[in-house]
């Protein structure tokens, strides 16, 4: 793999979140201050990637569980929203810029991954168009601020993987997940409900639409907490819930399964759930957000 010298710009700063470093730092501090570190240190977190106005408070529940003293490498697995991928892709950049400070991409780990033959390389243009990884970079920079010169990131764009490929990547990443110096960030929003998302599943037995959406998401969250990739995949096939990070989640669940089969104990707990709005009629729409943490004792 050729040596990279380019930088990925913070292309969504100024629209999805503030481009002002001091203002952004204050916002992140405020959201994190409202949360207790009940599951620290997390080995992996699931957190949303929407605009911070909508999901910043929710995401803080996941990032509060990160202990910078335990973390040397931050793997960030985000779904591809704009480019079709059958596998996963690595960035062409060597650093990712944020309004707080630049984050260095770990070239040694990238080289290890590249040698497997399982990864494509995304162009800077594709990288900067995608928001699923970028939306986590300021949070990573903030919670790792005390060790800003002592950690690296490993951004990975995850494509539309079938079950067998999720299992293949899960097996690959399991050795990294087993290392307590690594943190995995799984980027995902949950149900995108409404005609504009072409998804209007509604179970009237749960009352208003937003309660039906919550119940639908909770079913999936329960299966994630059970760390069961097969059950989670079957749930998605049955209900077609529009969880945009379902493939990164599937990779994490398969990595966890690989470790469980080796006798490694672990647990996952969701800490917060929110919706961008409460849908009450078919003309409404909403996106759901969830934050949780994986512990490996």
Write the secondary structure of the chain as one string of H (helix), E (strand) and C (coil): CCCCCCEECCCCECCCECCCHHHHHHHHHHHHHCCCCCCCCCCEEEECCCCHHHHHHHHHHHHCCCCHHHCCEEEEEEECCCCCCCCEEECCCCEECCCCCCEEECHHHHHHHHCCCCEEECCHHHHHHCCCCHHHHHHHHHHCHHHCCCCEEEEEEECCCCHHHHHHHHHHHHHHHCCCCEEEEEECCCCEEEHHHCECCCCHHHCCHHHHHHHHHHHHHHHHHCCCHHHHHHHHHHHCCCCCCHHHHHHHHHHHHHHHHCCCCCEEEEEEEEECCCCCCCCCCEEEEEEEEEECC
Residues in the chain: 297
Quick one: pLDDT at residue 4?
A: 45
CA–CA distance, 150 with 72 (Å, rounded to integer) = 7
pLDDT level of residue 3 (50, 70, 90 thresholds): very low
Query: 79-92, pLDDT tens digit by residue?
Result: 999 998 999 999 99
Q: How far is CA 56 from CA 29, 88, 131, 158, 251, in A?
A: 11, 27, 14, 23, 24
* Mean pLDDT in residue range 182-186: 98
Rg (C-alpha) for the chain, rounded Å, is 18
* Mean pLDDT in residue range 258-271: 97
Query: 160-176, pLDDT tens digit by residue?
Result: 999 999 999 999 999 99
pLDDT at 153 over 80: yes
Quick one: pLDDT at residue 2?
A: 42
pLDDT level of residue 52 (50, 70, 90 thresholds): very high
| % of the chain at pLDDT higher than 90 | 95
* Mean pLDDT in residue range 202-216: 98
| % of the chain at pLDDT higher than 70 | 98
Sign of CA dihedral 75, 76, 77, 83: negative
Q: How far apart are the first and last CA of the chain?
A: 36
Quick one: pLDDT at residue 1?
A: 40
* Mean pLDDT in residue range 121-150: 97
Average pLDDT of the residues of the chain:
96
pLDDT at 58 over 60: yes
pLDDT at 129 over 70: yes
pLDDT at 5 over 70: no
CA–CA distance, 129 with 145 (Å, rounded to integer) = 26
- For the segment(s) 41-206+223-295, the CATH number from 2.60.40.10, 2.40.30.30, 3.40.50.1220, 3.40.830.10 is 3.40.830.10
Domain range list for the chain: 41-206+223-295
Query: 210-249, pLDDT tens digit by residue?
Result: 999 999 999 999 999 999 999 999 999 999 999 999 999 9
Say if residues 273 and 58 touch (Cβ distance below 8 Å): yes
pTM of structure:
0.96
Sign of CA dihedral 120, 192, 199, 242: positive
């Amino acid at each position: 793999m050729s040596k990279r010298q380019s930088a990925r710009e913070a292309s969504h700063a100024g629209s999805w979140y503030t481009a002002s470093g001091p203002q952004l730092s204050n916002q992140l501090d405020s959201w994190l201050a409202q949360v207790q570190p009940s599951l620290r240190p997390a080995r992996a977190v699931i957190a949303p990637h929407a605009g911070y106005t909508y999901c910043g408070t929710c995401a803080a529940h996941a990032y509060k569980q990160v202990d910078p003293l335990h973390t040397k490498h931050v793997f960030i697995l985000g779904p591809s929203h704009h480019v079709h991928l059958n596998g996963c892709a690595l960035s062409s950049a060597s650093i990712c810029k944020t309004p707080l400070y630049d984050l260095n991409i770990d070239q040694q780990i990238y080289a290890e991954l590249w040698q497997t033959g399982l990864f494509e390389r995304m162009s800077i243009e594709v990288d900067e168009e995608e928001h699923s990884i970028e939306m986590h970079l300021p949070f990573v920079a903030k919670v790792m601020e005390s060790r800003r010169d002592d950690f690296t990131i490993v951004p990975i764009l995850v494509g539309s993987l079938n079950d067998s490929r999720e299992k293949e990547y899960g097996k690959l990443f399991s050795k990294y997940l087993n290392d307590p110096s690594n943190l995995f960030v799984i980027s995902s929003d949950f149900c995108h409900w409404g005609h504009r998302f072409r998804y209007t599943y509604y179970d009237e037995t749960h009352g208003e639409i937003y309660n039906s959406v919550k119940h639908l998401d909770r079913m999936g969250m329960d299966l994630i907490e059970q760390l069961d990739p097969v059950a989670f995949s079957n749930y998605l096939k049955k209900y077609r819930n529009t969880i945009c990070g379902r493939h990164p989640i599937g990779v994490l669940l398969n990595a966890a399964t690989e470790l469980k089969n080796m006798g490694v104990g672990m647990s996952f707990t969701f800490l917060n759930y929110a919706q961008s709005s409460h849908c009450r009629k078919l003309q409404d729409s909403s996106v759901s957000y969830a934050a949780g943490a994986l512990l490996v004792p």
